[in-house]
Amino acid sequence: MRRIGCLIYDALLLLALWLIATLLYLLLAGSELTAVQRHGMQLYLWLISAVYFVWCWRHGGQTLAMQTWRMRLVNRDGQAIRYGQAISRYGWATLSIATLGFGYLWAFWDKDGQYLHDRLSGCYLVTHTTKPG
């Protein structure tokens, strides 16, 4: 349930980020977008999302949602993930979503309960059950 809560919270945060980024894009491009501009906006939003997630995962191993749900992303040694791992995880997570969530559902069959994109990028999502302080 913790992972589902975190996914929903991250989705809401991402939606807010996309709304702001879309507003900025439309202010620059205008409200009547060509097909190329629409595809450009999709790529722009994907890159904005990548910057957000990769930066959060590299700086503390947590997004705001992960902090709230006391989860952290680490490498196999329990240390902070590298930029390459963060970028790889984002790419694989994109494919996980594009396949109607298959990479997330993978956790139900994985022996360690890992998402497919975590397994492929060498990352582990760990939980902290104790409250800080």
Q: DSSP labels for 61-107?
A: S--HHHHHTTEEEEETTSSPPPHHHHHHHHHHHHHHHHTTTHHHHGG
Please, which residues bridge with residue 75 across strands?
123
> What is the model's pLDDT at position 131?
56
> What is the model's pLDDT at position 130?
55
Distance, in Å, from the CA atom of 3 to the CA atom of 28, rounded to the nearest integer, reads 37
> What is the model's pLDDT at position 31?
85
Which two three-digit tokens encode residue 59? Answer: 């700086």
Distance, in Å, from the CA atom of 77 to the CA atom of 75, rounded to the nearest integer, reads 5
Where the chain has pLDDT below 70, the residues are 129-133
Q: DSSP labels for 34-62?
A: -HHHHHHHHHHHHHHHHHHHHHHHHTTS-
Kindly list the domain boundaries of the chain, sorted by start residue: 2-127
